[in-house]
């Protein structure tokens, strides 16, 4: 979809349209983009504060919550006000309940001026006996995030995004192969204050196949039936398991600051 910068009412209308289209397509798990309630290209802290919303009581959250009744789950990016801080967050509602809030750990570029970074491990949500890992946009560039989700038994990564750099859609193919996991990247389209967002929302399989992908400027719901159990098989050959064959005794450097 294409959120509109600073226009909360219009973003609720556009989100509602997506929710209705998804319901018509009998989608049971829906991923919406990062910062779907607010737009992205802020220029001041005041602008961010004007559109930041509390979870779960804001109107934006309430339409997600309502949609999630009837055995559905939805994740959306939200500009979140919490206590005295603002976060770039993702909220997950399932069966009419708030299931988790993930606060983006890896803030991109100017985002560091507007948001506090999240300081908690990315979560995995259970829904209808399947496991859904959550990350947001630029987390793609830090393979540790997807790896942690795989180690927490996520079968699919739900990935709201507002992508600016041209690498992520391809990088997610690698994230999927190296973790034997599915990934659903929901990316916004359009331009804001000179920033161009790259669309191409996609679903990728544990073998790195692009199961479906929208166009660069396409507003739509794209969906695919996936068998999440496929992600439980971590064998990359008969002899190589992508998680068990790690050699953590060699990885001390990975957990130290440079
Ligand atoms: C991004 O993390 N929104 C590029």
CATH of the domain at 97: 3.60.110.10
Is there a domain that residue 3 lies in?
Answer: no
Instruction: Give CA–CA dist 158/177, Å, rounded.
Output: 16
In degrees and rounded to multiples of 5, residue 230 shows phi and psi of: -55, -30
Is there a domain that residue 145 lies in?
Answer: yes
Is there a domain that residue 87 lies in?
Answer: yes
| DSSP state letter for 193 | T
- Domain holding 80, by residue range, is 8-255
Is there a domain that residue 2 lies in?
Answer: no
Determine which residue's CA is closest to atom 3 belonging to ligand 1: 162
- pLDDT for res 59: 98
Q: Based on C-alpha coordinates, what's the Rg of the chain?
A: 18
Determine which residue's CA is closest to atom 2 belonging to ligand 1: 138
Give the catalytic positions in this structure. Answer: 34, 104, 137
Is there a domain that residue 79 lies in?
Answer: yes
Is there a domain that residue 99 lies in?
Answer: yes
Pocket test for ligand 1, best of 77, 87, 137, 192 (most atoms within 8 A of CB): 137
Is there a domain that residue 25 lies in?
Answer: yes
Which regions of the chain are under pLDDT 70? none
pTM, two decimal places: 0.98
Is there a domain that residue 115 lies in?
Answer: yes
- pLDDT for res 93: 98
Q: Which atom of ligand 1 is nearest to the CA of 108?
A: 2
- pLDDT for res 115: 98
Q: Which atom of ligand 1 is nearest to the CA of 106?
A: 2
* Long-range contacts formed by 194-202: CB under 8 A, 24+ apart: 194/41, 195/40, 195/41, 195/164, 196/164, 197/40, 197/162, 197/163, 197/164, 198/163, 198/164, 198/166, 198/168, 198/169, 200/169, 201/33, 202/169, 202/172
Q: Which atom of ligand 1 is nearest to the CA of 137?
A: 2
**What total of structural domains would you count in the chain?**
1
């Amino acid at each position: 979809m294409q959120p509109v910068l600073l226009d909360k009412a219009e973003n609720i209308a556009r989100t509602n349209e997506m929710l209705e289209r998804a319901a018509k397509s009998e989608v049971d798990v829906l991923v919406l983009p990062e910062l779907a309630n607010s737009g992205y290209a802020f220029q001041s802290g005041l602008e961010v504060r004007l559109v930041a919303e509390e979870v779960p009581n804001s109107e934006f959250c309430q339409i997600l919550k309502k949609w999630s009744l009837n055995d559905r789950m939805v994740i959306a990016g939200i500009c979140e006000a919490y206590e005295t801080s603002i976060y770039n967050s993702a909220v997950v509602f399932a069966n009419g309940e708030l299931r988790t809030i993930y606060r983006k750990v890896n803030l991109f570029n100017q985002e560091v001026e507007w948001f506090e970074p999240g300081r908690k491990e990315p979560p995995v949500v259970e829904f209808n006996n399947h496991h859904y890992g959550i990350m947001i946009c630029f987390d793609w560039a830090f393979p540790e995030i997807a790896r942690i989700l795989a180690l927490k038994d996520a079968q699919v990564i739900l990935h709201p995004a507002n992508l600016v750099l041209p690498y992520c859609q391809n990088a997610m193919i690698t994230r999927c192969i190296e973790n034997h996991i599915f990934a659903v990247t929901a990316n916004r389209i359009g331009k804001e204050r000179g920033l161009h967002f790259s669309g191409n929302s996609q679903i990728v399989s544990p073998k790195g196949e692009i199961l479906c992908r929208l166009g660069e400027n396409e507003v739509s719901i794209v969906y695919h039936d996936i068998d999440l159990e496929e992600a439980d098989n971590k064998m990359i050959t008969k002899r190589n398991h992508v998680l068990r064959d790690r050699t953590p005794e060699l990885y001390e450097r990975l957990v130290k600051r440079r």
